[in-house]
Amino acid sequence: MSNCHDTSAQTASPLAIMDVDAPLIALAGQPNMGKSTLFNLLTGLNQHVGNWPGKTVERREGHFDLNGRSVRLVDLPGTYSLTAYSPEEVIAREFILREKPSVVIAVVSAANLERSLYLVAELATLKAPVVVALNMMDVAAQEGIHVDAQVLEAALGLPVVPMTASKAVGVRELLGVVQDILSGKPAPRPLPPEVRADHRKVLDKIETLIIAHVPEPYPHNWVALKLLEGDVEVTRMMHTALPNDVWDVVHDVLRLHDDAFLAVASGRYEWIGRMVRAAVARPRVGQIGMTERLDRRAAHPLWGLFILAGILGLVFWLTFTIGSPIQAWLDEQVVTPLAGLAAGALAGAPFWAQGMVVDGLIGGVGTVLTFLPILVVFFAAFALLEDVGYMARAAYVMDNLMHLMGLHGKSFLPLFLGFGCNVPAIMGTRVIDSWPARLLTILIAPLVPCTARMAVVAFIAPAFFGANAIWVSWGLVLLSLLALVSSGALLNRVIFKGQRSAFIMEMPLYHIPNARTIGLLVWQRSLSFVRKAGTAILAMSLLVWALSYLPGGDLNTSFLARFGQLIEPVGSWMGFDWRLTVALITSFPAKENAIATLGVLFGNSPNVGLANILVASFSNASALSFLVVTMLFIPCMATVAVTKQETNSWRWTLLSVFLLLGISVAAGAAVYHLGVLFGL
């Protein structure tokens, strides 16, 4: 209890010595309630700032003139309660108990009484006269909140003065009430929260046991309550103050009621609820009302899923309707003629140089860069959903679904990050305490369809499936999530053994999207894609081209062809020839490389876009199978590397790789054979 004893000397500041006989007023309140504004307003330049002895907590003291009488004012540290959860709370209560201020002004926010009345509930149990400064009335009015100060005063049993300290409104009335108390006018009787009946008996028993031993200046009923609440400082003080035999009895009683601290706090919140119900009227229209109305459907466990699926379909529709025609135009009208121009310009150059530029650079990176319009639309749609506040609802309904499947709740948000990129999804699992839960999440995270995979889908699906591309894309996302949930549920049963978890979300209000925020997000994501095209995709395109050129300059006898033909038997299960199989394998450094590789391998046909060449070369069943495998295949190199880093285990990393390889090959083969069966 060193803090308690320190505070007796705390008033020995120059100002305190000067005005030692002046009445003392304490300003108490939670942080950000306008306490300091009121302090500055009252004391002006007559203030002194220092530290509370032995603490790094700031102490502000000053004085002002009240009807010709000097009054000392101490700004107590901002505290949420008077229980010893923090040094500020200990300082505030010790000051009130030891210095016995003539008046305690409790500054509360009219805009958020639910939060600020807890401290008043505690202050009301102390002997010091309390005046409630109902501050921020202007903010409350702006938010349409009406607080009836008279009703609140009657309910609290304490004087309540509505005010707006930032505009000096209501200060005169506040000082009038303070003056009344200082003049000896009888204060109303506070109506603090009652302790629940079953705990009342325990409280009385503790009070009886300790009454003769409570050190000055602590009120014995307050000490008994704090013991019941499990207050660390008070418990330590009474352990020292009580004879051993009495302490043992008190300790046994407290141990039997170790949940009483929750009951006491519960009682205070029930009291706050009653105060707010009596005195506060909140608007049920406008932004809050709209959010509630929308969330009745958007955050509903069943309707929310349908809405999410519908929004996802809408995003694909927008992407394909706006982005795909631009992509096709760029492919046919820019990349192909550019390749022709480059071939002409390099006609005199060595054949390998022409091949590298035309097939490797333009056919590979150029083709991938034509995705940009598709991605811009895709990024803009998701940025809009994020900025409007919908993505929080999407996370909520998906998390509910995952719980139904037996998956761990804390896993969802890392998984949610995976829609952007699987790397932060796996890094994000660090917030999961339980190792099995974290491992499970790491293993299934690569099944979340990332933007890079969606880019491949956005290129191939419209080429092969035209108007049905929306349904194909939608189905592919659904398939990925189905694979994720099934694998998760299965692994959860085996590794995680059905552990429960809890997760609480406070969702933002829906709001009008900000064009600048959306623009910034689209710009950053697009820039990131272009950088990737200029580095990882460029390097891989040149390597693929070199392997497709060497040793003799003929694709069909190249190193790449030999390698592709070697693994073609596996690819054929899924309806792939060696080129599709190689394209899939080269997607390991970055998923978009699959298209870059196809651009290199099919880039020799003049005046025809890559999409048209692919449609002429493969059946729809092969294309669908390729898309399915791409969605479920081994993740990119960065994701595998981060899996190794986060699991610190090659065993788990290889398990992840082989698990995904198995799932993707099995799903691809099944889809291809079903496709052939249905005549695709």
Partner 1 sequence: MLQKLLTVIRSGGTFETTVLAARLGTTPELATAMLEHLQRMGHIRPYRTCGYACGGCNLRTECPQTQPGGAMANGMQLFMLADPLPDADETKTGE
DSSP states of 385-434 as a string? HHHHTHHHHHHHHHHHHHHHTT--GGGHHHHHHTTT-HHHHHHGGGG--S
**CB-nearer residue toward partner 1: 168 or 281:** 281
Give Cα 517 distance to the centre of its chain: 18
Least separation in angstroms between CB 466 and partner 1? 30
**CB-nearer residue toward partner 1: 5 or 277:** 277
Rounded-to-integer distance, Cα 264 and Cα 254, Å: 13
Least separation in angstroms between CB 339 and partner 1? 30
The tokens for 559 are 């190193």
Which residues partner with 97 through β-bridges?
A: none
**CB-nearer residue toward partner 1: 502 or 677:** 502
Least separation in angstroms between CB 376 and partner 1? 13
Which residues partner with 103 through β-bridges?
A: 25
22 contacts 72 by C-beta, under 8 angstroms: yes
Least separation in angstroms between CB 296 and partner 1? 10
Least separation in angstroms between CB 263 and partner 1? 6
What is the Cβ-side half-sphere exposure of residue 495, based on CA atoms within 13 angstroms?
A: 20
Amino acid at 670: A
**CB-nearer residue toward partner 1: 340 or 424:** 424
**CB-nearer residue toward partner 1: 216 or 433:** 433
Tell me how far apart the terminal alpha carbons of the chain are, to the nearest angstrom. 80
**CB-nearer residue toward partner 1: 275 or 671:** 275
Least separation in angstroms between CB 487 and partner 1? 19
Least separation in angstroms between CB 227 and partner 1? 16
Least separation in angstroms between CB 421 and partner 1? 7
What is the Cβ-side half-sphere exposure of residue 311, based on CA atoms within 13 angstroms?
A: 16
| 448 conformational bin, left if phi > 0, alpha if psi -120 to 50, beta if neither | beta
Amino acid at 234: V
| Furthest C-alpha separation in the chain | 107
**CB-nearer residue toward partner 1: 345 or 520:** 520
The tokens for 285 are 């229209």
The tokens for 43 are 């004391």
Closest-CA residue to 74 (of 90, 54, 58, 86):
58
**CB-nearer residue toward partner 1: 250 or 391:** 391
**CB-nearer residue toward partner 1: 11 or 116:** 116
Least separation in angstroms between CB 372 and partner 1? 15
Least separation in angstroms between CB 342 and partner 1? 31
671 contacts 628 by C-beta, under 8 angstroms: yes
**CB-nearer residue toward partner 1: 548 or 647:** 647
293 contacts 131 by C-beta, under 8 angstroms: no
Which pairs from 284-290 meet CB under 8 Å and 24+ separation? 285/144, 286/144, 287/509, 287/510, 287/511, 288/509, 290/510
**CB-nearer residue toward partner 1: 413 or 584:** 413
Least separation in angstroms between CB 253 and partner 1? 19
Rounded-to-integer distance, Cα 465 and Cα 370, Å: 19
Which residues partner with 219 through β-bridges?
A: none
Least separation in angstroms between CB 389 and partner 1? 7
Least separation in angstroms between CB 539 and partner 1? 17
210 contacts 250 by C-beta, under 8 angstroms: yes
**CB-nearer residue toward partner 1: 392 or 594:** 392
Least separation in angstroms between CB 87 and partner 1? 13
| Residue whose tokens read 């500054």 | 107
**CB-nearer residue toward partner 1: 299 or 601:** 299
**CB-nearer residue toward partner 1: 331 or 399:** 399
Least separation in angstroms between CB 80 and partner 1? 6
Rounded-to-integer distance, Cα 179 and Cα 159, Å: 12
Positive or negative: CA dihedral 190, 191, 193, 199: positive
Q: 567 vs 204, 576, 587, 590, CA distance in Å?
A: 82, 10, 15, 20
Q: Which residues contact 132 (CB under 8 A, 6 or more apart)?
A: 106, 108, 120, 152, 153, 156, 158, 159, 160, 161
75 contacts 29 by C-beta, under 8 angstroms: no
Least separation in angstroms between CB 508 and partner 1? 3
Rounded-to-integer distance, Cα 100 and Cα 174, Å: 20
DSSP states of 85-146 as a string? TSHHHHHHHHHHHHH--SEEEEEEETT-HHHHHHHHHHHTTSSS-EEEEEE-HHHHHHTT-E
Rounded-to-integer distance, Cα 277 and Cα 298, Å: 28
**CB-nearer residue toward partner 1: 232 or 566:** 232
**CB-nearer residue toward partner 1: 411 or 597:** 411
Q: Which residues contact 429 (CB under 8 A, 6 or more apart)?
A: 411, 414, 438, 441, 442, 445, 646
**CB-nearer residue toward partner 1: 115 or 220:** 115
Q: Which residues contact 76 (CB under 8 A, 6 or more apart)?
A: 26, 27, 28, 29, 91, 92, 95, 96
Least separation in angstroms between CB 225 and partner 1? 16
